[in-house]
Structure 1
Amino acid sequence: MFSPKLDESHFLHSYRPMPLILTVLALALLASASPAADWSPLFDGSSLKGWTQRGGKATYQVRDSAIVGTAVPNTSNSFLCTERDYGDFVLELEFRIDPTLNAGIQFRSESLADYKKGQVHGYQMEIDPSRRGWSGGVYDEGRRGWIYPLTLRPDARYAFKQNEWNHYRIEAIGDSIRTWVNGVPAADLVDPMTQKGFIALQVHGVGKRSDGPETSWRNIQIKDLGQSTWKPLFNGKDLTGWTPTPGGTWNVSDGVLKGTSPASETKHGILLSDADHEHFTARIVYRSRSGNSGFYFRAQPVEEAVGLKGFQAEIDSTGQDAGGLYETLGRSWVVKPAADLVKKAYKPGDWNEMTVSAHGPRLVVHLNGTKTADLLDATGARKGRFGLQLHGGQDMDVEFKSIELLETAAPRPIPEFPATPTGPIVPEGAAFRKLGDGYKFTEGPAQGPDGRIWFNDIPNNRTHVYDPKTGQISVWREDTGGANGLLWVPGGDLFACEGTNRIVSRQSGDKRTVAIEKFEGKRLNSPNDLVLDGQGGFYFTDPRYGNAGGARELEKESVYYVNQGSKITLATSEVTKPNGVALSPDQKTLYVADTAEKQIFAWDVKSPGILEHRRLFAPSSSDGMAVDLAGNLYLTTGPGLSVWSPAGEKIAEIPCPESPANCEFGGPGNKTLFVTARTGFYAIDLNIPGLR
């Protein structure tokens, strides 16, 4: 068995922009998971005392010790709001929602007369029962829209339980906002925009619907942790607390700190803080009239002309790269923000607000409320000085209206850089164990919402389900229409590629319907395999095998994309016979096995369903495939499985008792690889978690 050690480069680079790193490995937190404070009820179980309604006209009433919100037609989003504001807190509650509705939990929210005529706006923990599965993500209602979707958090997307009571937890301390769904970590957001506001229960507008779908909330309780406040580092009068280095001039006039320097000055003038700072969130309001400046942090004074060594958040009069992260006397540019993002956020010649959050290895920068950098850094300094820069060799004119630090009443969570897994992909002594046999040809393993594994025996037209808790396998469905690939989606529906029936079916509870049957009026060939993306859509392959279900109608064998609204579009026909399909952890690469060409091809995902830059990924045949959290691709080929790094290098081979057809991760920590192989169903434990 060839199974190399898990080299660090297969997991994490020394730095990587967020939120991908949160998908690869969860952050460990130094702070307590439950800050010390007493729980207080927000709902007394019998009345709406302490609450007031804003926005639309949905009805709220108390029924069976729960607040029940009922949607009504022709009204906007409705909000049942607490009468008082909360700053830092831990909130827990339970809710149950109609599967066709959308709702949310507002927090640190406001309704101001001078903002959109009193429209409720602020953070919202999403309740999303659709197959997109973004329950637990954070939406900025009435302002910026999605600021923490769950595109790259598959475990959280599957945590929501349809038609059941679900448990939510929100922890907001300073600029740290974290959420949990039924105990599963979901959002880990850093955002300092709003530090206090009311809590509200949202019922989303439903257009003209008149059937009155409901959302219920109960057991609503809060730990009030006080209020975070901004404290000035610049007193608006003089340079107390700051020391200038040679180069340029600093002075204070009318409460504004002004720095100037002629182009003839070669030294980088630095206004250096007298104190070191380690974990902090800083807010700087600046106006740059000419030249290149920056806000240094965790920096160390040096003798070189640049004056400091360390990170700086970019300040530039033209706005170019504003809010990016540059490491002076180090790695140079570490995060360069997208030009269109900066163009939208930056205000030329005007006052701009930049926030810099540095807690442990996580560095986050916002420019006028737009996130321009989010980095988990393994090598940078963790402590050092602040510095305001006047770039040498340029005509410099930059002003600072305020420089502040955010002080929290409760300890703010501080992340640690996650440990890199070590050892071989397959642990020493690990071997396949047979879970079931006596089948004709097994295929399509898929992990269900409860951790059970579904798989098909295609010739026998049966879908089986394996229960890891009992070790038992049972028949789940007969007469499957030649079902092959299976896909459980958030919300609890099962999609199946029924090759003989030439459809993709959808099972919702006891009801089975045809999800996809035709493309541009022509029947599909024989759908084979499918993979869910982070937007609630899925890709499926449609080769032609045998004479499935009558005459062929489509000229080509292709890969299709079905969005959350069930609209089908052609993703690519640049394949001969597409079979297995998979997505990389960052959702940026789609892999397709072409069994006719005996090769694996890869495409860049430009946007959902839009592919570009087809290329050969691996010169290997495969049927099904799976991906681990490091982005390694597991191919079912020949006598066993082969493992390929994201760079297209074969890094391991795993012999299998029978020739494998497909594989799926599951089990404790998602570290068990389940394999369908001819007449058997097998499993082997690995050292690395797989993608859900």
Structure 2
Amino acid sequence: MVDTTLVRDGLRFGEGPRRGPDGRLHYSDFYDHEVRALDLDTGAEEVVCAVPGQPSGLGWLPDGRLLVVSMKDRVVLRLEDSGLVRHADLNDIATFHANDMLVDAHGRAYVGNFGFDLHAAIAAGGEAQLLGPDRVVPGTPLALVQPDGTTSVAADDLKFPNGMGLLPDGRLVVAETLAFGLTAFDVASDGTLSGRRVWAPLRDHFIAPDGIAVDDEGGVWVAAALQPYAFRVVEGGEITHRVETSQICFAVAIVDDRLVCCTAPTSQPEVVSTARLGRLEVHRL
């Protein structure tokens, strides 16, 4: 039985949901090339900006300016009064499309990328080749972007680094989608990472973690990517809650007392770029 309420349909593919500084839900629609802001109480929605290179991860600098990942360009853009400008170039770091992003309270951004052409690989050989114990998945770096746009490699050899969140104790958690787990890092005062460790192994639950959201108690809500569920996971991998969605759940955000889920029947572009099957669904926490 579905545990969510539909709040918006007709999307192509929603991703990167975040609670904005104004309290509204902000999200990207990959194939409409738009970043939108939605008031979950009134249903009022507006287009914040158009991103021709395909928008994904979102975040804000301390002064409130929006940062948005332009996937195919492999850059981070910054929204000024005059429009979008380049904030950081990730072409020397990202080995395929740039993707999800976390911006911390200091304005430092952590940006993942696909690492390889995932959708072409699935179209050519199916998902099974990427999911089995003998699979070979390329590793790729996680990028660190300083507030001034300077870039560096934060961590190497991640298996499709995707959603990210900061735990209450300051550690960074990264969803490694094709490693079937959540990985934690210690964060230094300059934003650099160390102490890499497995925070939650999820293969036994067949959870390929996509987007994630950290709650106030340090639990991590995980979009399951291969399943129509969002799961709440604690350190070590125990699942404490399960929320069933109407379609596969690819991204989550916490907005006040609501868990927002971005869902679609698949992530394959040949399907979702042409049809409007994406949804935003909400579960009261």
User: TM over 0.5, yes or no?
Assistant: yes
Q: Which residue of 2 aligns with 1:627?
A: 214
Once the two structures are superposed, what CA deviation does each residue of 1:295-327 show, in whole Å capped at 9, x if it has no partner? xxxxxxxxxxxxxxxxxxxxxxxxxxxxxxxxx
Q: Which residue of 1 aligns with 2:185?
A: 603
- Following superposition, the deviation at residue 490 of structure 1 comes to 2.9
**For residue 625 of structure 1, what is the amino acid of its counterpart?**
I
**For residue 671 of structure 1, what is the amino acid of its counterpart?**
D
Q: Distance in 1 between matches of 2:118 and 2:158?
A: 20
SS in 2 for 1:596: helix
Tell me if 1:642 matches 2:231. Answer: yes
Q: Which residue of 2 aligns with 1:559?
A: 142
For residues 74-473 of structure 1, the aligned pairs below 5 Å read 431-473=3-45
Q: Which residue of 1 aligns with 2:161?
A: 578
Contact between 1:449 and 1:492, CA under 8 Å: does it hold in 2? yes
- Following superposition, the deviation at residue 545 of structure 1 comes to 4.8
Q: Distance in 1 between matches of 2:100 and 2:200?
A: 19
Q: Distance in 2 between matches of 1:556 and 1:441?
A: 25
Once the two structures are superposed, what CA deviation does each residue of 1:147-182 show, in whole Å capped at 9, x if it has no partner? xxxxxxxxxxxxxxxxxxxxxxxxxxxxxxxxxxxx
Per mean C-alpha deviation after superposition, the further-off stretch among 567-576 and 472-481 is: 472-481
Once the two structures are superposed, what CA deviation does each residue of 1:344-403 show, in whole Å capped at 9, x if it has no partner? xxxxxxxxxxxxxxxxxxxxxxxxxxxxxxxxxxxxxxxxxxxxxxxxxxxxxxxxxxxx
- Following superposition, the deviation at residue 437 of structure 1 comes to 0.6
Q: Which residue of 2 aligns with 1:478?
A: 50
- Following superposition, the deviation at residue 528 of structure 1 comes to 0.8
Q: Distance in 1 between matches of 2:148 and 2:194?
A: 23
Q: Which residue of 2 aligns with 1:681?
A: 280
Q: Distance in 2 between matches of 1:606 and 1:456?
A: 30
Tell me if 1:488 matches 2:60. Answer: yes
Q: Which residue of 2 aligns with 1:657?
A: 246
Quote the sequence identity (%): 26
**For residue 602 of structure 1, what is the amino acid of its counterpart?**
A
SS in 2 for 1:629: coil
**For residue 261 of structure 2, what is the amino acid of its counterpart?**
V
- Following superposition, the deviation at residue 509 of structure 1 comes to 2.9
Contact between 1:518 and 1:524, CA under 8 Å: does it hold in 2? no
SS in 2 for 1:459: helix
Q: Which residue of 1 aligns with 2:127?
A: none
SS in 2 for 1:631: coil
Once the two structures are superposed, what CA deviation does each residue of 1:93-134 show, in whole Å capped at 9, x if it has no partner? xxxxxxxxxxxxxxxxxxxxxxxxxxxxxxxxxxxxxxxxxx
Change (3 A) 1:458 1:545: farther
- Following superposition, the deviation at residue 585 of structure 1 comes to 1.8
Higher RCO (CA-CA < 8 Å; seq separation 6+): 2
Q: Distance in 2 between matches of 1:658 and 1:682?
A: 10
SS in 2 for 1:437: strand
Q: Distance in 2 between matches of 1:626 and 1:438?
A: 24
- Following superposition, the deviation at residue 524 of structure 1 comes to 6.0
Q: Which residue of 2 aligns with 1:202?
A: none
Q: TM-score, normalised by structure 2?
A: 0.78
**For residue 486 of structure 1, what is the amino acid of its counterpart?**
L
Higher share of residues assigned helix: 2
Tell me if 1:532 matches 2:103. Answer: yes
Change (3 A) 1:489 1:664: farther
Quick check: which has more Rg, 1 or 2?
A: 1
- Following superposition, the deviation at residue 559 of structure 1 comes to 0.8
**For residue 665 of structure 1, what is the amino acid of its counterpart?**
I
Contact between 1:463 and 1:480, CA under 8 Å: does it hold in 2? no
- Following superposition, the deviation at residue 469 of structure 1 comes to 4.2
Q: Distance in 2 between matches of 1:680 and 1:461?
A: 16
Change (3 A) 1:467 1:583: same
Q: Distance in 2 between matches of 1:475 and 1:674?
A: 18
Name the count of aligned residue pairs: 247
Any gaps of 5 or more consecutive residues in structure 2?
A: 120-137, 203-207, 265-277
**For residue 528 of structure 1, what is the amino acid of its counterpart?**
N
**For residue 484 of structure 1, what is the amino acid of its counterpart?**
S
**For residue 156 of structure 2, what is the amino acid of its counterpart?**
S
Contact between 1:576 and 1:594, CA under 8 Å: does it hold in 2? yes
- Following superposition, the deviation at residue 622 of structure 1 comes to 0.9
Contact between 1:447 and 1:453, CA under 8 Å: does it hold in 2? yes
Once the two structures are superposed, what CA deviation does each residue of 1:511-560 show, in whole Å capped at 9, x if it has no partner? 211111146x5676322111122433121112235399xxxxxx962112
Change (3 A) 1:457 1:616: same
Change (3 A) 1:464 1:545: farther
Change (3 A) 1:643 1:586: same
Q: Which residue of 2 aligns with 1:311?
A: none
Change (3 A) 1:671 1:530: same
SS in 2 for 1:535: coil
Change (3 A) 1:682 1:543: same
Change (3 A) 1:607 1:491: closer
Any gaps of 5 or more consecutive residues in structure 1?
A: 2-429, 549-554, 687-692
Once the two structures are superposed, what CA deviation does each residue of 1:80-101 show, in whole Å capped at 9, x if it has no partner? xxxxxxxxxxxxxxxxxxxxxx
Change (3 A) 1:547 1:586: closer
Q: Distance in 1 between matches of 2:251 and 2:164?
A: 11
Contact between 2:260 and 2:280, CA under 8 Å: does it hold in 1? yes
**For residue 99 of structure 2, what is the amino acid of its counterpart?**
N
Contact between 2:95 and 2:140, CA under 8 Å: does it hold in 1? no
Contact between 2:62 and 2:105, CA under 8 Å: does it hold in 1? no
Q: CA RMSD in A?
A: 2.5
Q: Distance in 2 between matches of 1:533 and 1:609?
A: 9
**For residue 4 of structure 2, what is the amino acid of its counterpart?**
F
**For residue 643 of structure 1, what is the amino acid of its counterpart?**
R
